[in-house]
Structure 1
Amino acid sequence: MEHTTYKLLFSLVLVSHIVIAWSTNVERGSYIIHMDKAAIPAPFSTHHHWYTSTLASLSTEDGYAPVHLYTYKHVMNGFSAVLSKSHLDQLANTAGHVAAYPEAFGQLHTTHTPTFLGLKKHAGLWPAGSFGADMIIGIIDSGVWPESESFNDHGIPPVPSRWHGACESGTKFNSSNCNRKLIGARSLSKAIKQLNLTISLPDDYDSPRDYYGHGIHTSSTAAGSRVENVDYFGYSKGTATGVAP
């Protein structure tokens, strides 16, 4: 049963670790703009067209042009963009604007064990949910190390047809690193590059590959495959498995 869960990883390489502060030295920042889906004007056929047209209409008197990064339509509606203080003020007075969220530091935390969560193997929520069987899990973190045995796809059936994501190539990472367990991986780094910041070795990978080790920890904790005979430098030998293996 534990080998039937699919896992998807989105890798957010360093984007969540940058703080942009308004000062005489920093004139722009990366923001997520939350928009009211129902407020789309009639002339626009798609929300993406509405958002990009709205950005194009903003004044650039401060010397900066807004840069569209991503459009969002699932968990929330809106977009992300590199904006100046003037752009933010203009957007706040635009029809459909709900809120603006600046990119900020994200403190890395680990995930508590199933025991802490009160999950039991033979009764309760865990078996009732079939241990996460046939579930696609998306994780936004520092990346993934696909060679880990936690992502082996032994005994896992083909990737479900409802999956329409991608497995991106980049530094020391290519599409062949994905399999029937790790079905997708992306590096969302447009904001970093637009702000002229670099992603390069030896400090990080410009790809979904995890340099820091945090992303692989959280993703394997959530949905890692069952791995027998693991230990910590010879101690605590046992079986490693994710909450939804």
Structure 2
Amino acid sequence: VNWNHADDIQIIDYGSRIVTLNDTLQQTSGEPNLLYALVYNGNLIEFRDVNCEQFYSYAWVDDNDWQDYLENNYGYESGLSTAANQLENFWQNNRYSYSNSPVNADGESVSQQCLFNTERTYHYPTVFQIQLPVGQALDFMSLPNLDDITLECDDGFSGSSSNGSVGSYLGGQANCTVSGIAQVTSHHYYDWGGVGTISGGNNNSSNTGGDLSNIPSWWSWSGWYFYEVGTDYGGDETESYTPLEFAVYFTTYFVEVYDLDSE
């Protein structure tokens, strides 16, 4: 058997995933992508269609930075400090997923939608399958490291070695499929990098080589958290304890199926 991590799993680009919520603002507006809105100095300021990379970076900004943002873009008013604190609290509270943080329609917090608190995702691809007709069973003689062996039969029976619902002899009573399941770990992280800025305008360079397309035009600070695949120490994007090339050995047995109800 030959297989490849990248070909057998689908890796989600969490950095580009649009964050949604199902809190009071979203229910009232009917827009799950409208994350936050405030009125400041006669202006309605809305944050919508924010992806995970942007959310992570916005949470890095403190209230003093948000004061600069508001005053530079919308002028000064007496409620500047309050508005800036509200912005800081919204982004940071959701970034760190406190118990009272809002969730989306699927019950996921922002941190869960974006995998802020973990740098790995687990995938379970099928790396081989063996078809067994009625009256034929098998017993494995040699297997590589696998996460699971599953059995699915057309009489409705199913089982798994991981939960102990199948024994060493598989199949026989119906047409069955035996599957070998591997575990693949994919790695990602949010990497802080310095960016060159134009005062009051968009960033125009990155010292990390990161993609600048997620940085909004109003961002005027010197850093940004870039979503990266792989590990922060230069490791591979994916790994598995199942080898990429292996052989499976098994013995087949011809069995007779008895219908106890007919006797």
Give the alignment's TM-score, normalised by structure 2: 0.28
Structure ID, larger Rg: 2
Structure of greater relative contact order (alpha carbons < 8 Å, 6+ residues apart): 1
